[in-house]
Amino acid sequence: MNQELTKRDETLPTPLRRPWPRIVGVVSRAKEWKQLRGGECDLVELRLDAPDEAMRDFSLHTACPLPLLLTFRHASEGGYCKAISEEARVQSVRRLLPLATAIDWEIARLASARDLLSEAHARGVACIASAHFWGKTPEKTQLDALEKTACAEGMNVLKIAFTPHDEAEVNMGLSWLTETKHALPVALMGMGAFAKESRSIYARHGSCLMYGYLGQHATAPGQLSVAECRCLLNR
């Protein structure tokens, strides 16, 4: 096992450590948030960019029964808020930082959130560096470069979501996940028609996080429910 990766793994908050994969339950509606209960998943992702504006009522989030992952996704990578400044996005996450176990920020925009990320590290909050490829599959060299950037910026986990169009592209992701000497724990997942197949394969071959939705609303094409994730992992 990669000793450097093992050492980094040991610095993660307990809900992100091995055994992997950890299941992340994504919530994008206030009604579903209010129905949360412990034990449904390992972490719950609060989508502050959700189309339900009530999710940005900060009083809603004072008592979360599960370890909390904060995400305010940029519109260019799948976020629902089209007109919000980068400063407002940063401040929305910072306001809830004392409650968080982890936060997610796009690799392409790490420069805009360096103060936020420094504060998160100081609080012991894990920082997930993410990249999303809508409608395409990245080259392995692109993935290597993203991991290099995330590592250089002091991020704790690398999350990559892409859109495979056939089994060959699913297998490309698998070979990158399993044959590359990674410097960070990697969460890899497919979207679209091959979402179920890719997420199942990657979760069983070292992907550290498996995302599924809680309630009735998926937040990515082909995203599974948390219950479906658990069923796949129990096979």
Q: Which residue has the tokens 């004392």?
A: 98
Cβ atoms of residues 202 and 159 within 8 Å: no
Helices (H), the chain: 3-10, 30-34, 86-96, 114-123, 140-152, 167-179, 195-203, 226-233
52 within domain boundaries: yes
Question: Residue 134: which domain range?
Answer: 3-10+20-233
pLDDT of residue 172 exceeding 90: yes
pLDDT, position 10: 75
157 within domain boundaries: yes
146 within domain boundaries: yes
Mean pLDDT value across the chain: 93
pTM of the entire predicted model: 0.95
Mean pLDDT of 11-33: 93
Please spell the DSSP secondary structure of 73-91, one letter per residue. Answer: --GGGT-S--S--HHHHHH
111 within domain boundaries: yes
Respond yes or no: is residue 159 known to be catalytic.
yes
Q: Report the percent of the chain where pLDDT is more than 90.
A: 79
pLDDT, position 43: 96
> What is the β-pairing status of strands 22-27 and 68-71?
unpaired
State the Cα–Cα distance between residues 2 and 193, nearest whole angstrom: 33
- Among candidates 116, 119, 20, which has minimal Cα distance to 72? 116
Mean pLDDT of 89-99: 95
Report the sign of the C-alpha dihedral through residues 60, 225, 20, 179, in that order: negative
pLDDT, position 77: 94
The catalytic residue among 74, 82, 121, 132 is 132
State how many domains the chain has. 1
222 within domain boundaries: yes
Q: Which residue has the tokens 């176990």?
A: 101
197 within domain boundaries: yes
64 within domain boundaries: yes
Helix %, strand %, coil % for the chain, to 5? 45, 20, 35
Name the region of 213 (left: φ>0; alpha: ψ -120 to 50; beta: rest): beta
pLDDT band at 215 (very low <50, low <70, confident <90, very high): confident
pLDDT band at 217 (very low <50, low <70, confident <90, very high): confident
Strand partners, 210: 23
Q: For residue 43, what are its two tokens?
A: 């972490």
pLDDT of residue 202 exceeding 60: yes
pLDDT band at 2 (very low <50, low <70, confident <90, very high): low
15 within domain boundaries: no
Mean pLDDT of 86-108: 96
82 vs 180 pLDDT, higher one: 180
- Among candidates 212, 148, 157, which has minimal Cα distance to 186? 157
| CATH assignment at residue 220 | 3.20.20.70
pLDDT, position 58: 82
Q: What is the pLDDT of residues 51-75, one digit of tens each?
A: 888 888 888 887 789 999 999 999 9
The catalytic residue among 74, 121, 148, 159 is 159
Strand partners, 112: none
Q: What is the pLDDT of residues 127-167, one digit of tens each?
A: 999 999 998 899 999 999 999 999 999 999 999 999 999 99
Respond yes or no: is residue 61 known to be catalytic.
no
